[in-house]
Structure 1
Amino acid sequence: MRDFFMPANTCTQGADSRAARRPPEPYAPPTRPWVLLVALVLVALNLRPALSSLAPLLGQVSADVGLSASAAGLLTTLPVLCLGVFAPLAALLARRLGAERVVLMVLVALGAGIALRTQFGAAGLFIGSLLSGASIGIIGVLLPGIVKRDFPRHAGTLTGVYTMALCLGAALAAGASVPLADALGGSWRFGLGFWMVPALLAALAWWPQAKGGAAARHPHRPVRGLWRAPLAWQVTLYMGLQSSLAYIVFGWLPSMLIARGLSAESAGWVTSGSILVQLPSALAAPWLATRGRDQRLAVVWVMSLTLAGLFGCLYAPLSGLWGWAVVLGLGQGAMFAVALSLIVLRAGDAHVAAALSSMAQGVGYTLAAMGPLAVGLVHDLTGGWQAVGWLFGGIGLAAIACGLGAGRAQVLQVEAGHG
């Protein structure tokens, strides 16, 4: 069992001789690895419900609060924008408090943000969405570094498990929010507010990790040269562009399907089903992507599936809608898993992985936030959904171009310095 958690080689390719001669830092494997793994999965389950629970209820929310399509687009964009804007805070907070303690505190903040969205009208919606997005952005940056550090020999596989949990949380929230709202009193507030409960339960499960003081065991160190590395920017742009398509689906796919004639509940279940299909592809994609020489072919395949599913949901006859939703889900689950895997695979050690995660998610999610906003603006300008297909195609082709660079079998030639 101990061999499963032994650290991988922590020297990056191209590091100078001083870095090579530096003695390795003391490392203690987690004393209860399966407790940590279960806690990681529970945390990951809570990193998407705040985003995907709103879309099926967006029509009710907009009508009740009085939001235009552009304002609704901003509401779906805001938490995604916060994922990027607040991501750089993760490293700063982790250096001061320890990654595990930060995850615990931010889980509590996530629960508070979800609850706030149900109160104080439009102001509560936007402020709660901001707090929720900021919380998810900080946690999302820290978890890949924890996986790389404590499960170094199986980082790819566990990245798939982590991604699968993300997809499951998104699917549950997309499908269950409308039925929960109906069952708990008929108000959209119950459908949105329910998701603070699993966030607080995840905080309880994470509590033993925060008490363990892992920060002292493996302190963060600054990484030099990352922002000047073309490979780091290719990973970052691929993360942002593929995420843009994902958040368009979270934020707008139910509305698109409702406009095509589905009920709000049916549209929510189709979206949920598509996200649920992401589970097997999210788990399998990191393993499959590492079977070949590099990940370039995987990048092309998963983006092609995603675009085919999106175009099918938007333009194909409704009789085949569930088939296209399955194609979309398979593509998007694999697409996101490959993006996370690229962060781990292109980094030589846990410090570089944490820094690259911060860069890729900070810049990437800021870029991704423009996708849902652009869809809302296109809808307002054209009065329909037909024109957004051009937007899908442009984002997808740009993601393939960046992914072909990020998918090369290279390791970032950057150095993790002293803290």
Structure 2
Amino acid sequence: MHKNQRIFLILLTAMNLRLSVTAITPLFTAIQKTLNVDSTITALLVTIPLLCFSIGAVITPWLNQRFGLRPLLIFTNGLLILANILRPINVAFLLVGTLLIGIAISLLNVLVPVMISQTTHETSEITKLTSYYSVIMNILAAIATATAIPLANLFGWANVLRGFAIPVLLTFIASLLLTPFPKSAAVENPQKLLKTLLHDKAAQKLTIFMGLQSLIFYSLISWLPAIYQSLGATSSEAGMLLSIFQFVGIPAAIALNYLTDTKKLFIILATGYSLGMITIFWHGIGWWLSAIILGFTAALIFSVALNLIATSSTQVTKIANRSALAQSLGYLLAATGPVILGRLHDSFHSWSVVLIMLIILMGLTILAGVRVVNHQK
């Protein structure tokens, strides 16, 4: 009974891990017009959460030790509800609300692998749970991204932002009613993160892998529309291509259950990155193929990263610390991606340099993932 409750709560939590961050991007134009802000401010609505993911993840093991999972889940979901409701009021609330959203999600990002590890110790079940929670996360984010503009036309962008609180409310209620994680489930005597960084080889490799794949994902989310437009796509086509990029993450997360051969898995990932970057230059149908292939690959490699963290040890302490380190430093690295690649474009006045850099980063990501797998054997 407790196991089913834990699984249910994990899947509910997954609904809120990306929704409030990525689904807001289609509303940037409406937000700029209504609140009279420029693109720098709206860009912060993605950058701030990434920085929070980095900073907030560091304190999660200590908070987990001090308060336990259930109180943290109640607090973070309550914080998410409040932030989503308040942030459309004005610019100040928009930025502060985004900061609170980033902090809350950063805690949940680290707690979910711990929740999974406390639900089951079977590697196959851990993989399934990781896959299912990735599917739920991608479904909500993709649907919200695709429907944000139509819903904003009907109800206004502010009410759409407030609507992001609805799935959080469901999770909040479940956190209050269900008690699947007892206080004793809190992490005991966690290692210092600095010590983990310096001496835990597995944590070091996981951090590099997590950071590189996140950097690629958020760079693609930020700049794919502009890249497609530079190649001849209209703005509406570019927007649809970005929606496709996110939607194909749904079957990618499910595919993890059937890709049990690690060697073949990384061959698929390397092939996906390669084909995605090649087809992007193929006018018309190639853009759609690239969005599908890159979206599938980016979602699959994210699920792989989460699964490698969750299966890196049988000790909750190690998993919590490795998860915190991988996500704190990993998202800090990811936050630099959109900015650095944007500056590259401004310096060379061409997206070709950016695409070359992405190809190099993709190669490094595959190598980093293979090193993680070899270390865990």
| Partners of 1:330 and 1:287 in 2: CA distance | 15
Q: Secondary structure at the match of 2:188?
A: coil
Task: Indicate which of 91, 101, 119 corresponds to 1:150.
Answer: 119
Query: Deviation at 1:304?
Result: 3.8
Contact kept, 8 Å, 2:135 with 2:250, in 1: the verdict is yes
2:244 aligns with 273
**Corresponding residue for residue 109 of structure 1:** 79
Structure exhibiting the larger radius of gyration computed from Cα positions: 1
**In structure 1, how many angstroms separate the alpha carbons of the residues matched to 2:24 and 2:279?**
23
Which is further off, 353-362 or 393-402? 393-402
- Residue among 11, 23, 38 paired with 1:53: 23
Larger CA deviation: 55-64 vs 401-410: 55-64
Structure 2 vs 1, CA of residues 397 and 141 (structure 1 numbering), >3 Å: closer, same or farther? same
Task: Tell me which residue corresponds to 1:330.
Answer: 296
Number of the residue aligned with 2:313: 347
- 1:133 maps to a residue whose letter is G
Contact 2:22 2:141 in 1 (8 A): yes
For 1:240 and 1:90, how far apart are their aligned partners in 2?
Answer: 18
Q: Which amino acid aligns with 2:76?
A: V
Alignment of structure 1 residues 205-220 onto 2, 5 Å: 205-209=174-178, 211=179, 214-217=182-185, 219-220=187-188
The alpha-carbon deviation at position 88 of structure 1 amounts to 1.3
Name the SS for the 1:174 alignment partner.
Answer: helix
Distance in structure 2 (CA, Å) of the matches to 1:67 and 1:303: 40
User: CA, structure 1 residues 200+284, in 2 after alignment: closer, same or farther (shift >3 Å)?
Assistant: same
**Alpha-carbon distance in structure 2 between the residues aligned to 1:297 and 1:223:** 34
1:55/1:250 contact within 8 Å kept:
no
Contact 2:65 2:186 (8 Å CA) reproduced = no
Secondary structure, in 3 states, of the residue corresponding to 2:57? coil
Contact 1:69 1:376 in 2 (8 A): no
**2:61 paired residue number:** 91
Q: Distance in 2 between matches of 1:253 and 1:394?
A: 17
Give the C-alpha shift of residue 66 in structure 1: 4.9
The TM-score, its normalising length taken from structure 2, stands at 0.89
Q: What's the counterpart of residue 190 of structure 1?
A: 159
What one-letter code is carried by the residue in structure 2 that aligns with 1:105?
Answer: F
Match status 1:38 vs 2:17: no
Structure 1 residue 394: Cα displacement = 2.9
The Cα of 1:334 is off from its aligned counterpart by 1.0
Which has the larger helix fraction?
2
1:378 CA drift (Å): 3.5
C-alpha deviation, 1:76, in angstroms: 2.2
Task: Tell whether the 8 Å contact from 2:187 to 2:320 is kept in structure 1 after alignment.
Answer: no
Where do 1:1-400 residues align within 5 Å? 31-121=1-91, 123-153=92-122, 154-185=125-156, 188-209=157-178, 211=179, 214-217=182-185, 219-223=187-191, 226-227=196-197, 228-257=199-228, 260-264=232-236, 266-285=237-256, 287-288=258-259, 291-292=260-261, 295=262, 297-310=264-277, 312-313=279-280, 315-382=281-348, 385-400=351-366
Could you tell me which amino acid in structure 2 is paired with residue 262 of structure 1? T
> What's the offset of the Cα at 1:311?
5.4
CA distance in 2, matches of 1:375, 1:301: 26
Q: Deviations over 1:122-176 (max 9, x none)?
A: x333222211111111001001011011122211221111111221122122212
2: CA distance between counterparts of 1:401 and 1:162? 26
- Give the drift of 1:308: 3.3
Amino acid at match of 1:85: I
C-alpha spacing 1:402/1:202, structure 2 compared with 1 (3 Å): same
Which whole-Å CA distance do the structure 2 matches of 1:190 and 1:252 have between them? 27
Q: Tell me the alpha carbon deviations over residues 78-126 of structure 1, each in whole angstroms, 9 at most, x when there is no partner.
A: 21111111111211211111112202210121222223331212x3332
Partner secondary structure for residue 86 of structure 1: helix
Q: Which runs of 5+ in 2 are unaligned?
A: none
Distance 1:196 1:251, change over 3 A: farther
User: Is the contact between residue 174 and residue 269 of structure 1 (CA under 8 Å) also seen in structure 2?
Assistant: no
Supply the distance in 1 between the matched residues of 2:186 and 2:350 (Cα, whole angstroms).
Answer: 52
Aligned mates of 1:132, 1:287 — CA distance in 2: 34
Deviations 1:196-243 (A, max 9, x none): 22222221122233x456122554331375321222111111001101
Could you say what secondary structure the match of 1:223 adopts?
Answer: coil
8 Å Cα contact 1:44/1:162 also seen in 2: yes
Choose the corresponding residue for 1:408, options 371, 374, 377.
Answer: 374
Q: Closer, same or farther in 2 for the Cα pair 1:329/1:351, shift >3 Å?
A: same
Paired with 1:404 and 1:62, the residues of 2 have a C-alpha distance of 43
| Distance in 2, Cα, partners of 1:377 & 1:105 | 38
